[in-house]
Structure 1
Amino acid sequence: MAGSNQTRVVISGIGVVSPIGIGIDAFWRNICSGKSGIDRLQTFPNGNLPSKLAAEVKDFQPEIHLYNKKFLKVMSRDIQLGVSAASDAVRNAGIKEGVVDPERFGVSFGAGHIPTTPDELVEAVKHCAEHDTFEITRWGEGVMGQITPLWMLRQLPNMPACHISIEHNAQGPNNTITSQDSSALLALSEAMRWIKRGAVDCMIVGACTSNINPVDLSRKNLIDLLSRDEDPKRACRPFDRDRDGTILGEGAAAFVVENYDHAVRRGAEIYAEVIGLGAGCDGRASSDNNHQNDTGLVRAIESAMRQANLNPGQLGHINAHGKSTKIDDQVEARAYHRLFGDDATKIPITALKSYFGHFDAGSGAVELAASILSLRHNATPATLNYETPDPLCNLNVVHGEARPLSIPTAMSVSRTAFGQSAAAILRAI
Structure 2
Amino acid sequence: MEHRVAITGIGAVTPLGNTTTETWEAMCAGRCGIGPITRIDTEGLSVGVAAEVKGFDGEAYFGRREAKHLDRCVQFAMAAADEAMTDAGLDAEGAVDHERLGVYIGSGIGGVETYTEQVHLMGEKGPRRASPYLVAMMIPNMAAGNVAIRHNAQGPTLPVVTACATSAHAVGEAFRAIKHGYADAILAGGAEAPIIREVVAGFTACRALSTNPDPATACRPFDAERDGFVMGEGGCVLALEQWEHAVARGARIYAEVVGYGNTDDAHHITSPDSEAAGIARAISQAVTEGGVNPGEGLYINAHGTSTKLNDASETLGFKRALGEDAARAAHVSSTKSMTGHMLGATGAVEIMACALALRDGIVPPTINYATPDPACDLDYTPNEARACDLGWALSTNLGFGGHNACVALRAVKEA
TM-score band w.r.t. shorter chain: over 0.9
Question: Offset at 1:73?
Answer: 2.2
| Distance of 2:408 and 2:61 partners within structure 1 | 29
The equivalent position to 1:111 in structure 2, one of 103, 107, 114, is 107
Pair 1:99 & 2:72 matched: no
- What pairs with 1:130-279 in structure 2 (closer than 5 Å)? 143-279=126-262
| Distance of 2:74 and 2:68 partners within structure 1 | 11
Pair 1:344 & 2:327 matched: yes
Contact 2:292–2:392, Cα closer than 8 Å, also in 1: no
Question: Offset at 1:422?
Answer: 0.7
Distance change (3 Å), C-alpha of 1:26 and 1:291: closer
Question: Offset at 1:216?
Answer: 1.1
Distance change (3 Å), C-alpha of 1:264 and 1:209: same
Residue by residue, what CA displacement relative to the aligned partner does 1:290-333 show, whole Å, maximum 9, x if unpaired?
96441210111000110111233235210000010111111111
Partner of 1:120: 118
Pair 1:409 & 2:392 matched: yes
Contact 1:105–1:173, Cα closer than 8 Å, also in 2: yes
Specify the code of the residue in structure 2 equivalent to 1:95.
L
SS of match in other structure, 2:252? coil
| Distance of 2:303 and 2:100 partners within structure 1 | 33
Stretch moving more, 334-343 or 371-380: 334-343
Question: Offset at 1:19?
Answer: 0.2
Question: Offset at 1:423?
Answer: 0.6
Partner of 1:41: 37
Contact 1:248–1:358, Cα closer than 8 Å, also in 2: yes
Question: Offset at 1:242?
Answer: 0.8
| Distance of 1:315 and 1:296 partners within structure 2 | 25
Larger Cα-atom Rg: 1
Contact 2:162–2:400, Cα closer than 8 Å, also in 1: no
| Distance of 1:186 and 1:270 partners within structure 2 | 21
| Distance of 2:232 and 2:142 partners within structure 1 | 20
Question: Offset at 1:74?
Answer: 2.1
Aligned residue pair count: 406
| Distance of 1:37 and 1:270 partners within structure 2 | 28
Contact 2:190–2:235, Cα closer than 8 Å, also in 1: yes
Partner of 1:79: 74
Q: Structure 2-normalised TM-score?
A: 0.93
Contact 2:16–2:22, Cα closer than 8 Å, also in 1: yes
Partner of 1:29: 25
| Distance of 1:98 and 1:275 partners within structure 2 | 27
Residue by residue, what CA displacement relative to the aligned partner does 1:73-96 show, whole Å, maximum 9, x if unpaired?
221111111111111111111122
Residue by residue, what CA displacement relative to the aligned partner does 1:397-426 show, whole Å, maximum 9, x if unpaired?
101311112122111110113221111111
Residue by residue, what CA displacement relative to the aligned partner does 1:331-387 show, whole Å, maximum 9, x if unpaired?
111111222223322211000110011121111111111111111211000110111
Partner of 2:289: 307
Q: Structure 1-normalised TM-score?
A: 0.90
Partner of 1:327: 309
Specify the code of the residue in structure 2 equivalent to 1:40.
P
SS of match in other structure, 2:318? helix
Partner of 1:381: 364
Contact 2:45–2:201, Cα closer than 8 Å, also in 1: yes
Partner of 2:6: 10
Distance change (3 Å), C-alpha of 1:8 and 1:64: farther
| Distance of 2:46 and 2:404 partners within structure 1 | 29
Specify the code of the residue in structure 2 equivalent to 1:78.
C
Percent identity, aligned pairs only, is 36
Contact 1:317–1:405, Cα closer than 8 Å, also in 2: no
Residue by residue, what CA displacement relative to the aligned partner does 1:29-65 show, whole Å, maximum 9, x if unpaired?
1112111000010112213111110000010023565
Residue by residue, what CA displacement relative to the aligned partner does 1:202-228 show, whole Å, maximum 9, x if unpaired?
111010111211221122121242111
| Distance of 2:179 and 2:146 partners within structure 1 | 25
Contact 2:265–2:273, Cα closer than 8 Å, also in 1: no
Stretch moving more, 373-382 or 189-198: 189-198
Question: Offset at 1:98?
Answer: 2.9
Residue by residue, what CA displacement relative to the aligned partner does 1:226-251 show, whole Å, maximum 9, x if unpaired?
11111101110100011111111101
Contact 1:34–1:384, Cα closer than 8 Å, also in 2: yes
Unaligned 5+ segments in structure 1 are 128-142
| Distance of 2:312 and 2:320 partners within structure 1 | 12
Distance change (3 Å), C-alpha of 1:81 and 1:48: same
SS of match in other structure, 2:39? coil
| Distance of 1:123 and 1:177 partners within structure 2 | 29
Specify the code of the residue in structure 2 equivalent to 1:91.
T
Specify the code of the residue in structure 2 equivalent to 1:241.
A
